[in-house]
Amino acid sequence: MQRLSGLDASFLYLETPEQPLNVCGLMILDPSTIPGGYDFADLRTELAARVDAIPQFRMKIADSPLNPDHPVWIDDAEFDLDRHLHRIAVPAPGTRTELSELCGHLAAQTLDRAKPLWEMWVIENLADGEVAVLAKMHHAGVDGVTAAVMVAQLCSLTPDAPRPEPVTSGAGGGSTLEIALSGVAGVVTRPWDLLRLVPSALGSVTTWVRRARRGAAMPAPFTAPRTRFNATLTSHRSIAWARLDLADVKAVAKEFDVKINDVVTALCAGALRHYLEQHDELPDSSLVGIVPVSVHDRSDRPGRNQVSAMFADLHTDVADPAERLRTLARANSVSKEHSSELGVTLLQDWSQLGTPALLATAMRAYARLHLADRHPAIHNIVISNVPGPPVPLYFLGARITAMYPLGPVFHGAALNVTVLSLDGKVDVGIVSCPDLAPDLWALADGFAPALDELLHAVPSMPHRTTGDDGDGDRG
């Protein structure tokens, strides 16, 4: 039995039918590399062997009505792979349009909490003979880094890698009484934890004000301009993606002496600026993003979600792409310094104090009353950058030709852009709500021109057109 951290559990409490908190990944596979060729039954056998070696895939949520603390992870004694692995065909003609519509529908469905919180959909009938796999995991069990690690554990560096040995979790089960009693023990110290956190919170506010006065603070919440994405979600999801050359991104970073993350953020800003200009909706002030920051190597707090976050100015009000990147990089440096000063465990510590009933009730009321349409926008977009391996990966024998990460969206912030580097490419996954942004491919297709603009600003680089050409291929 393993207790969820407050941050892990908060994703359970904040979930509603309109706000499913799934972390997804869309893999495009080349089945020609599979020894003996592609066969769904063989793929299932290989997946079963690897799931046996990864205990997290076989653990489910358990709780008790008497439990005052967060739920726990226990082994699912009735685990059945066939309740998680599904086979489906994309409608003809099987282009990126049909694939994205199908994946958007699948991503919008909440996971069944009576079993381990993940699903995998094998998608056949793609136009060029490839096979796609959509993996879904609940945010309570993974953040961007842990999701990538778990998927990587299903992969190998060669198409014919040997099967791993089975591994037990050691988590066991938990009776209703055990869950409740251990929960009581867990909340006894909460008042003291609150007293400990209040002074640091007051100090953080003072620091923020002092930094803001001298122009050294990251953007404050509720200062973002309102856009079409700052509204209440419906239960529908739209998905799109883009593909870029990592060498081009690195060349821009080197020429401008900035970080890869700065270039990624600038590409989001450039694509968003163009998209909103096309709709005559570009705000005069800069859009504001929130950037999850992994603290896996810096936090000693328990839990599967090991993240902090910082607010970032996208400087979409700057017309010149090169100047936008320079300005954005300087602002990111300030935001990183400010975020570090606030403490890497701030989000984890405060979320530990969350009350399940209160958070769940508040979120349902927030959605039902459409409050996201009324208050000032907290931020406009979530931007995540997940590093991946620089070499080819094989999923159950099939070479992964692309891997698009897809994060959740929230009421009031209906746009998520997650980026993953793999084998010399940068794969960009975009998620929104079609009722707010019905033409998400227009945004996705803006990433390649945004990179081209920055390459044009590099004197030593010849002009190169990057990414998908928008003709219906999957990039």
Active site residues: 139
Count Cβ atoms within 10 A of the Cβ of residue 18 and give its class: 0-12 exposed, 13-18 middle, 19 or more buried.
Answer: middle
Q: Residue 234, SS3?
A: coil
CB 130 within 8 A of CB 31: yes
Q: Residue 34, SS3?
A: coil
User: Omega of the bond prior to 93 within 30 degrees of 0, cis?
Assistant: yes
Task: State the Cα–Cα distance between residues 307 and 296, nearest whole angstrom.
Answer: 7
Task: State the Cα–Cα distance between residues 364 and 242, nearest whole angstrom.
Answer: 34
Task: State the Cα–Cα distance between residues 375 and 365, nearest whole angstrom.
Answer: 14
CB 55 within 8 A of CB 88: no
Radius of gyration over every alpha carbon of the chain, rounded to an integer in angstroms: 22
Residue 441 tokens read as 């491919």
Q: Of 394, 474, 473, nearest to 428 (Cα)?
A: 474
CB 456 within 8 A of CB 253: no
- The contacts found for 262-265 with CB under 8 angstroms, 24 or more apart, are 262/325, 262/328, 262/329, 262/332, 263/325, 263/454, 264/383, 264/385, 264/419, 264/426, 265/289, 265/291, 265/312, 265/314, 265/328, 265/332, 265/383
**Cα dihedral 275, 276, 280, 285 in deg (nearest 10):** -150
Residue 257 tokens read as 């002496």
Residue 179 identity (one-letter amino acid): I
Q: Kindly report the CA angle at 375 between 371 and 380, in degrees rounded to 5? A: 100
Q: How many other CB atoms are there within 10 angstroms of residue 211's CB atom?
A: 16
CB 9 within 8 A of CB 354: yes
Location of structure tokens 């079609």: 434
Count the residues in the chain: 475
Q: How many helices (H) and strands (E) does the chain have?
A: 13, 16
